[in-house]
Structure 1
Amino acid sequence: MDHSHEHLPTTEAAVAALRVLAARYAREIEVTHDIGADQTSRRSAAGIGAVTDPDGSLPHEAYAEFGGVPRVSVRLYPEDDALIEVEGIECHDIRRDDVPAFLRSVFDGLAHVRARRFPPGYRLVVPLPGDRAHKEYVPMTLLTPWLSSRVR
């Protein structure tokens, strides 16, 4: 069985979904692709100097940046997870399948920042399907105007 393109359709499909979202929310989108283990930012499976994964496939990573406010970028990893950055706040380990829902929550204004009095602190809360939510700590120094406007 030939697995040489195993990762490509998934990353391509994910990128296509990001382009659809960008169009729906009238946001500009810029996408860059890194293909091959020597190009991608993290490889657990491939050895140093290896260009393919042990199964012979080329790892494919993509980075997408959306225009407008809030500032949002998405890095799709070959391992089927993603890093989404919202106004400089890094949200790690987002399942690739959750990426479109995560972005819709942000662009639809459902994402908010929860303030805690004691100990003082902020968390970015992004609702996901199935009564789940991604929560990420927000240092006070990183509270941008957009994040501040989302504080509840």
Structure 2
Amino acid sequence: MTYPSLPTTESAVAAIRAVAAEYRLAVAVTDDIGADQTSRRSSAPLFAVADPDGSLPHEAFVELGGSPAVTVRLFSDDDATITVDGVEFHDVPRGAVPAFLTSVYSGLAFVQGRFFPPGYRLYVPLPGDETYKERILGVSLTPWLSGRVR
């Protein structure tokens, strides 16, 4: 599936703010700018701010208020990690983040349980027949997750 282009971390944060405004959610954003500050630049030389190509890497950590508890970690590599009530979805394309959040807040996300192997999975369907799914670790479900069991 092709998603709208979000070429920068700042444009992705703006798109997340738009989704939060649509669902009346509080937003808190923490920015990490520079090779010495970003998490995926551990190989950067000491006190180096820019990448070797001269670009300035930018990451952001976004916390959305309300239920479920959602955080988004936007990386400068065009991907993100989204955590929904403790369930982590890694390597979500940056352009898919607004659709992912809309799916969660509009009620499309659901939980399915299995008898064998035992456990639950959180499914987040996106437009275009793409679905993200992750195992729910732990024995008990949060109230929001248990309200989404099918």
TM-score (norm 1): 0.89
Higher RCO (CA 8 Å, separation ≥ 6 residues): 2
Q: How many Å apart are 1:121 and its aligned residue?
A: 1.0
Residue 54 of structure 1 aligns with which residue? 52
Contact 2:36 2:44 in 1 (8 A): no
Computed over aligned residues only, the root mean square deviation of the Cα atoms, in angstroms, reads 1.6
Distance 2:54 2:83 in 1: 31
Q: How many Å apart are 1:12 and its aligned residue?
A: 0.9
Residue 90 of structure 2 aligns with which residue? 92
AA partner of residue 21 (structure 2): A
Residue 145 (1) aligns with residue 143 (2):
yes
Residue 4 of structure 2 aligns with which residue? none
Ranges in structure 1 where 5+ consecutive residues have no aligned partner: 1-8
Q: How many Å apart are 1:142 and its aligned residue?
A: 5.5
Identity of aligned residues (%): 64
Contact 1:122 1:140 in 2 (8 A): no
Ranges in structure 2 where 5+ consecutive residues have no aligned partner: 1-6
Contact 2:112 2:149 in 1 (8 A): yes
TM-score (norm 2): 0.90
- Following TM superposition, where does structure 1 have runs of at least 4 consecutive aligned residues deviating by more than 3 angstroms? none
Residue 81 of structure 2 aligns with which residue? 83
Greater alpha carbon shift after TM alignment, 126-135 vs 142-151: 142-151
